Structure 1
């Protein structure tokens, strides 16, 4: 994958939109020093090229009743492509798994899992995740507190 060439205005647009995706085009154009039409054209170009993938609301997990967040390291029963793809397909159907990363090291995948409480998490592990045929073992790390959680990417 090659990165696309961004000029300083594109970088400014991306930084501003990451901080406030709800900003109006008029306000964005003022902040970057262009008129509204070229500003909108730049944003559309960044969207069309796939640099801007989506816009969404970030929710407060605790306020909606999701009090437990964990990282789960998963080791698969084997490393054949079919095993890996089957596991990924099953993981994509479990709403509580909000991230799935194929990793190197002692495990094969690192999952970020959220649940209402420890009891709900335990049920999810026992009844769903550990029942996936491709899973050989899991190791859970419960997040006690979070000191930094940013969705803002540094723009090179």
Structure 2
């Protein structure tokens, strides 16, 4: 990646709906070379996709819960079995293997406490789950920030 690619990525992180002409103008390129660069960034999987950022509360998901999960063992078979199931939970919007007191940290969105109870019971049934710690978000201070690219 070069300086122009970084400029393109910064612009698209700010507004993924820019037209190619608007993007080209913003990064001082003509439209054809700009489009070629964007297509290359997409084919190289630097740009993974485009999506709308939704207001969670307005679409019925007023509660965010950060859940730390510890497994009963750390063998490949246990982690693979756990991870293979987690990816199918629509309410789990992120899941990271972490270091520290727990093995995984998940971000879960639900309408309310009753909704979380349903998801929690499902998580408890996952293979090799030993311990679950839940942290309820009071309010969001920062979320969905852009990747801090440097030129």
Where structure 1 has 5 or more consecutive residues not aligned to the other structure, the ranges are 1-5
**Alignment partner of 1:103 is 2:98:** yes
Residue 133 of structure 1, CA deviation: 2.7
CA distance in 2, matches of 1:123, 1:31: 47
Query: Residue 144 of structure 2: which of 140, 144, 150 is its match?
Result: 150
Contact 2:81/2:127 (<8 A) preserved: no
Report the TM-score, using the length of structure 2 for normalisation. Answer: 0.96
2:80 counterpart residue number: 85
1:118 counterpart residue number: 113
Residue 129 of structure 1, CA deviation: 0.6
Residue 150 of structure 1, CA deviation: 2.5
CA distance in 2, matches of 1:138, 1:65: 25
CA distance in 2, matches of 1:41, 1:143: 42
Contact 2:60/2:111 (<8 A) preserved: yes
CA distance in 1, matches of 2:144, 2:87: 23
How many residues of Structure 1 are paired with residues of Structure 2 in the alignment?
A: 150
Query: Residue 127 of structure 2: which of 111, 116, 133 is its match?
Result: 133
CA distance in 2, matches of 1:85, 1:91: 10
Report the TM-score, using the length of structure 1 for normalisation. Answer: 0.93
CA distance in 2, matches of 1:74, 1:108: 6
Where structure 2 has 5 or more consecutive residues not aligned to the other structure, the ranges are none
Instruction: Render the CA deviation track for 1:10-53: whole Å, top value 9, x for unaligned.
Output: 11100000001000001111111111100101111111111111
Task: Quote the RMSD (CA, aligned, Å).
Answer: 0.9
CA distance in 2, matches of 1:94, 1:10: 35
